[in-house]
Copies of this chain bind each other. A is one copy, B any other.
Amino acid sequence: MRNVAIIGIGQVPVREHWDKSLKELGALALLEALDDAGRDSIDGLFVGNMLSGSLSEQEHLGALIADFAGLGGVEAVKVEAACASGAAAFRQAVLAVASGQKECVAALGVEKLTEFSGQKTSDALAEAADADFETSLGLTFVALNALVMRRFIYERKVEREAFAYFPMLAHANAKHNPNAMFRHDIQFEQYQKAKMIADPINLLDSSPIADGAAAVIVVPADKVKPSDNKIVQVLACEIATDAVALHDRAELLRLRAVEQSVQRALQTAGVTRSQINLFELHDAFSIMSLLSLEASGFMAAEEALRKIREGYFDVRGTLPLFTMGGLKGRGHPVGATGIYQITEAVMQLRGAAPAAVQVPDARIAMTQNIGGTGATVVTTILKGNQ
């Protein structure tokens, strides 16, 4: 099996893009990534997307975007794993190159969510959950996460307001990211007063839906100059799954798929947690950040609630989190999010992040993209050449 390297990245700003179709957004990110890579063709395209069918009445995105981007003829498919679709597409791109079948492959994440009614989008997002046993009962996707947060507050005996520091940090970082949706700070008092969406999740616990597209270009690692500062090595990319329905999980607060994918990724990469210089985790809701940190083996969730107030997760702290704003601050175009995370990690490892959020001496980054309430988890470990 060959090692794989990332040689190009591209992204469109995360926004409400009412004037651009799915294929336009996808092609823009893809062409920017090709330009960054200094290539004009690829031999494979994997498109991560969750809801093009349910919302835009458009499937077949692989061929559609390949053709629209002028890459007609190329092998192209769509990969779906709910909110983890982006990183799942990246995983297939890595496999295609690692297998020796392909020499230059693009992983593209693209999603359009904002031009539909709130009800329609909310219903569509619930397709990440179990239709027979969860959404058929009227549970929205936010409500499912609210059940988990409620249980956490009860079992771990913490105050709801302790969660405030996660979205506050996300916004503090997003402020410096020109591609982020929300470029302003939020204060503790705003969190206290924020509207309740699905008790105990309030507006600021919840990442915003958004439109966006991001792409990365991968090639065999032995085909690039190892001295090139732009090159980022893919040390590992591992997927694990768990029951989709919350009631089928062994423990409500335990993300087993996170545990498994992180263990496999660390083993494959041959690195330890202490070597991770930044962690782009999946803060779709504040509670998910906490459970992810715990299941990833970094620390107990209660400890994370304390450490965030001590600057531990700041860009100049011990384990910087969501350095470009994360899902909360950058925005969460679901099927594109996993690729935004990887794109942002690559910027950090190149030393090319906006100065205010550049992690000093970033050499190894972990990204984690979560589908549903924890049923699909993709953990990726990247290493820079700096």
Contacts and interface: CB of A to CB of B under 8 A. Distances in A.
A59 B77 contact: no
B62 A81 contact: yes
Interface in A108-158: 123-124, 126-132, 135
Contacts of A92: 77, 92, 95
B241 A66 contact: yes
Interface in A71-118: 72-82, 88, 91-92, 95-96, 98-101
A128 B77 contact: no
Contacts of A371: 60, 63
Interface residues of A, number: 63
A216 interface: no
Max chain B Cβ within 10 angstroms of own Cβ: one of A64, A99, A124, A248: A64
Contacts of A88: 62, 77
A64 B244 contact: yes
A60 B248 contact: no
B372 A57 contact: no
Contact of A95 (B59, B99, B260, B376): B99
The dominant DSSP class at the A interface is mixed
Given A53-B127, A73-B241, A240-B73, A81 B60 contact: yes
Contact of A256 (B56, B73, B76): B73
A63 B242 contact: yes
A323 to B, nearest CB: 27
A132 B135 CA distance: 30
14 contacts: A23-B132, A50-B53, A53-B127, A54-B57, A56-B131, A57-B135, A58-B132, A59-B128, A62-B80, A63-B244, A64-B244, A74-B241, A79-B80, A92-B92
Contacts of A99: 1, 95-96, 98-101
Interface in A2-24: 21, 23
Contact of A79 (B78, B98, B124): B78
Max chain B Cβ within 10 angstroms of own Cβ: one of A51, A77, A243: A77
A61 B76 CA distance: 20
B127 A76 contact: no
Contacts of A66: 241
A302 interface: no
A240 B75 contact: yes
Given A53-B127, A73-B242, 19 more contacts: A50-B59, A51-B53, A53-B80, A54-B54, A58-B130, A59-B127, A60-B375, A62-B88, A62-B376, A63-B371, A67-B248, A72-B241, A73-B240, A74-B240, A78-B79, A78-B81, A92-B95, A99-B100, A99-B101
